[in-house]
């Protein structure tokens, strides 16, 4: 991949994550992309107000929910494996986030 292709890929990757955050916000979440690659990080609050932290790095995507700092010591945490998670596409990230939130809500 040449430099121009790499720049286009990075811009598209960032844009897709920002669009996902906007979609989540339209559903009542507070969501901010704090890093879009190596690792991918999204944090904020679920629609019910509970704070969350999503991180995808190496081959693991994890979601922490609750606690004073869900990025450090969440009340609940689970993860899924994903090859190349450090550059996780937003579509795959959305599916993982939604699955993990469903798991969390089912366990509550």
pLDDT at 75 exceeding the cut of 90: yes
| 19 band by pLDDT with thresholds 50, 70 and 90 | very high
Encode pLDDT of 84-99 as tens digits. 999 999 999 999 999 9
pLDDT for 1 equals 82
Residue-averaged pLDDT of the chain: 97
Q: What does the domain layout of the chain look like in residue ranges?
A: 3-107
Is there a contact between 92 and 86 (Cβ–Cβ < 8 Å)?
Answer: no
Report which of 81, 72, 37, 39 is spatially closest to residue 53, judged by C-alpha positions.
Answer: 72
Give the dihedral sign, CA 12/22/71/62: negative
DSSP result, 71-96: TTS-SEEEEEE-TTGGG--HHHHHHH
| 59 band by pLDDT with thresholds 50, 70 and 90 | very high
| 107 band by pLDDT with thresholds 50, 70 and 90 | very high
The first and second tokens of residue 83, run together, are: 């090859």
Mean pLDDT to the nearest integer, 25-48: 97
pLDDT for 35 equals 97
């Amino acid at each position: 991949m040449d430099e121009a292709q790499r720049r286009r890929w990075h811009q598209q990757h960032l844009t897709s994550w920002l669009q996902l955050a906007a979609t989540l916000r339209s559903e009542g979440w507070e969501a901010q992309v704090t890093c879009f690659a190596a690792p991918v990080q999204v944090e904020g609050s679920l629609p019910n107000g509970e704070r969350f932290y999503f991180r995808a790095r190496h081959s693991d995507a994890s979601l922490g929910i609750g606690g004073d700092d869900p990025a450090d010591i969440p009340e609940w945490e689970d993860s899924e494996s994903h090859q190349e998670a450090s550059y996780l596409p937003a579509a795959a990230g959305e599916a993982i986030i939604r699955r993990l939130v469903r798991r969390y809500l089912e366990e509550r």
